[in-house]
Structure 1
Amino acid sequence: MYDFVVGGVGPAGARFARRAAEAGYDVLALEQGRIGEPLACSGHVSSDVWDYTGEGAREELLQNEVYGARFHVGGPNSGSYPFYKREVVSNVIDRVGLDRHLADLARQAGADVREEHTVTDVCEDDDRVEVTAKGPTGTDTYEAKMVAGCDGPRSRVRDALSLADPDELLHGVLAFSEESDAGDFVDVHLTAPRFFAWRIPRGEAGVEYGLAAPPGAHVNKHFEDLIDGYEVDVSHRCSGAIPVGPPERVTSRRGFLIGDAAAQTKPFTGGGILYGMTSADHAAREIDPDRPTTLAAYERAWRDDLEREIELGHWLRRAYSLPEPVQRIGLGALSGEIGVHMDRPTSLFSMTHLKAMLSRSK
């Protein structure tokens, strides 16, 4: 019997598998396809990502460094409002490569990581869970003390455990152009209903274009308008769901959710890599597979860490739907140097940000 079966080997699942294996637990991690494929997430991440990687990862995966963002209320030629730091704000990375690197770290720690194994069902008993998965040679059932659902926004583990869905699932679209662009600013367009569109320079790797909005908001049409505005040809289109708003509970009798399955994401950007891996660390630290009561400690720990950030992120997102004249006034008043951390909205009230704001008036 395994201590943990992990469904899903994205960043959150790989991180938990690694940390649990390092703690001496017997871990089986199952990924439905090839790790990192198909690509459905942006490669724009906080520079804190390197705190979770191994030796040589930055040199292998880094594509560009970003110092700020230009916000646009209209199209690409409508003028912009820059927000920036004097040091690197974020990084653009090989997103598929990151997933594979994190999975390799889990393997090196002793976790049994298997690709092309799709979790199809989970049955909870008082003393164990039975996880059914379909693999290349047929269907197998694995016994474990606990199951970790890290299998994305439409989590089968979550459904099998009868845990609630995220508050909302946005529809995201990505595509890439071959134009070389080593610019150090991303572009954010507040034109998509209740969310935004973006352009991210990836150095010699090209440019990433993306857009997200609630289902039914004619996402594909808005995305075509974005591409037409930049007058570029794109390829490698992909799409996926972006979960926003975690449910009141992400644990069951012998199961728990991490990452997108738990909607541990930033409501104002949809990004979840750092929140998911942070929560994975809380899970590995707090949960003892022989003591189901420790699931409550994980529930408390990740919420104590991230709940205020997520709540403030919801308020920031509301600004995307303000009337255009109000957006222009607000962006014009606030643009300039900032001291905000891209994963921590509470840093809006930090001394670092206050100093940056005061420096503008000198």
Structure 2
Amino acid sequence: MYDFVVVGAGPAGSRFARRAADAGYDVLVLERGEVGTPLACSGHVSTDIWEFTPDGARDHLLQNEIYGARFHVGGSRSSEHPFYKDEVISNVIDRVGLDKTLAHAARDAGADLREEHSVTEVDEHGKYVDVTANTPDGTETFRGKMVVGCDGPVSRVRRELGLPEPKEKLQGVLGFAPKAHGGNFVDVHLTAPKFFAWRIPRGDAGVEYGLAAPPGRSARSLFDEFTADYDVETNEFCAGMIPIGPASSVTAHRGFLLGDAAAQTKPFTGGGILYGMTSADHAVRTINPDDPGTLANYERAWRKDLKNEIRLGHWVRRAYSLPKPVQTAGLRTMSGEIGVHMDRPTSLFSTEHLRTLLRRT
């Protein structure tokens, strides 16, 4: 019997598996397809990403360094409002390569990683949990002391455990223009309903275009309008759901959720790579697979760490729906050099940011 059966080998699942295996636990990871596919997430991340990857990962994953963002209230020809630092703010990385790198690290740490294993059932019992999956050789059931749902926004584990859904799910779409681009600013357009559209230069890997929209609006149609405004055609089109707002509980009797399955994401961007891996570290530190009572420690730990960031992130997102004149006036007033961290909206009140604002006055 395994200590943990992890469902999903994305960043949160692989991070948990690696750290749990390093801690001496017997870990099984089930990935429904091939690790890293299909792509359903942007590769624009903060520089903190390298704290969670094996040594040397930056050398083969980094695609571009970003120094700031240009915000637009309208389309590509609208006025731009730049926010920037005189140092690298964020990185653009090979997103598929990240998944593979983290999964290999988990396997190297001793986790049993199995691809092409699609979970169909999760049954909790008093002292163990049974996880059934369709495999290349037929149906197989694996037994563990706990199951870890890291299987994304539309989580089978969440449904099987009877846990509540995230408060909101947006439709996210991505496409790529293959022509190399040497810019080091992203473009953010406050044109998608209740969210935004983006353009990210990926160096030799081309340019990424994307947006997210609430249910009831055709994200693909909005995306086509957005890329047409830039007069580009994209390939490698992909789509997925973006969960926003964690539910009141992400733990059951012998199971818990991590990453997108738990909606451990930034409400103002939808990104969840760093929040999910941070929560994975909390889970390894606080959960004892022999004692279901320790799941409460995990709930407290990750919420204490991310609560204020998520709460303030919701307030930042509300600005996306303000009237255009108000958005324009606000962006014009606030644009310029900044001292904020892209994963931590609380850094708006940091000493670094306040000092930066004072230098601008």
Question: TM-score, normalised to structure 1's length?
Answer: 0.99
Describe the superposition over 1:43-65 as per-residue Cα deviations: whole angstroms up to 9, x where unpaired: 10111000011121101000000
What is the letter of the counterpart of residue 235 of structure 2? S
> Following the alignment from structure 1 to structure 2, what is the Cα–Cα distance between the partners of residues 260 and 234?
26
Partner SS, residue 69 of structure 1: strand
> Following the alignment from structure 2 to structure 1, what is the Cα–Cα distance between the partners of residues 120 and 353?
47
> Following the alignment from structure 1 to structure 2, what is the Cα–Cα distance between the partners of residues 88 and 118?
39
> Following the alignment from structure 1 to structure 2, what is the Cα–Cα distance between the partners of residues 182 and 169?
33
Aligned to 1:19: 19
Kindly state the Cα deviation for residue 6 of structure 1 after the two structures are TM-superposed.
0.2
Corresponding position: 1:10 with 2:14: no
Aligned to 1:357: 357
> Following the alignment from structure 1 to structure 2, what is the Cα–Cα distance between the partners of residues 347 and 237?
34
Gaps of 5+ in 2: none
> Following the alignment from structure 1 to structure 2, what is the Cα–Cα distance between the partners of residues 247 and 54?
32
> Following the alignment from structure 2 to structure 1, what is the Cα–Cα distance between the partners of residues 301 and 326?
38
Partner SS, residue 153 of structure 2: coil
What is the letter of the counterpart of residue 218 of structure 1? S
Partner SS, residue 181 of structure 1: coil
Kindly state the Cα deviation for residue 216 of structure 1 after the two structures are TM-superposed.
1.4
Greater Cα shift, 68-77 or 220-229: 220-229
Kindly state the Cα deviation for residue 257 of structure 1 after the two structures are TM-superposed.
0.3
Aligned to 2:142: 142
Corresponding position: 1:126 with 2:126: yes
Kindly state the Cα deviation for residue 179 of structure 1 after the two structures are TM-superposed.
1.6
Kindly state the Cα deviation for residue 219 of structure 1 after the two structures are TM-superposed.
1.4
Partner SS, residue 163 of structure 2: coil
Partner SS, residue 121 of structure 1: strand
Describe the superposition over 1:203-226 as per-residue Cα deviations: whole angstroms up to 9, x where unpaired: 011000001010112212211111
What is the letter of the counterpart of residue 291 of structure 1? D
Partner SS, residue 65 of structure 1: strand
Greater Cα shift, 232-241 or 212-221: 212-221
> Following the alignment from structure 1 to structure 2, what is the Cα–Cα distance between the partners of residues 148 and 281?
13
> Following the alignment from structure 1 to structure 2, what is the Cα–Cα distance between the partners of residues 125 and 182?
55
Aligned to 1:38: 38
Describe the superposition over 1:141-185 as per-residue Cα deviations: whole angstroms up to 9, x where unpaired: 111100000000000000000000000110000000012112110
Partner SS, residue 271 of structure 1: coil
Identity %: 68
* Aligned-residue RMSD, C-alpha: 0.5
> Following the alignment from structure 2 to structure 1, what is the Cα–Cα distance between the partners of residues 307 and 257?
15
Corresponding position: 1:183 with 2:183: yes
> Following the alignment from structure 2 to structure 1, what is the Cα–Cα distance between the partners of residues 315 and 271?
16
Question: TM-score, normalised to structure 2's length?
Answer: 0.99
Corresponding position: 1:49 with 2:18: no
**4+ residue stretches of structure 1 with deviation over 3 A?**
none
Partner SS, residue 82 of structure 2: strand
Q: How many residues get paired?
A: 361
Gaps of 5+ in 1: none
What is the letter of the counterpart of residue 335 of structure 1? S
Partner SS, residue 39 of structure 1: coil
> Following the alignment from structure 1 to structure 2, what is the Cα–Cα distance between the partners of residues 282 and 234?
39
Aligned to 1:226: 226
Kindly state the Cα deviation for residue 7 of structure 1 after the two structures are TM-superposed.
0.4
Aligned to 1:255: 255
Kindly state the Cα deviation for residue 86 of structure 1 after the two structures are TM-superposed.
1.0
Aligned to 1:341: 341
Aligned to 2:82: 82
Corresponding position: 1:273 with 2:273: yes
Greater Cα shift, 309-318 or 212-221: 212-221
Alignment of 1:37-116 (within 5 A): 37-116=37-116
Partner SS, residue 9 of structure 2: coil
> Following the alignment from structure 2 to structure 1, what is the Cα–Cα distance between the partners of residues 46 and 135?
34
Aligned to 1:284: 284
Partner SS, residue 3 of structure 2: strand
> Following the alignment from structure 1 to structure 2, what is the Cα–Cα distance between the partners of residues 249 and 97?
32
Corresponding position: 1:210 with 2:210: yes
What is the letter of the counterpart of residue 298 of structure 1? Y
Aligned to 1:170: 170
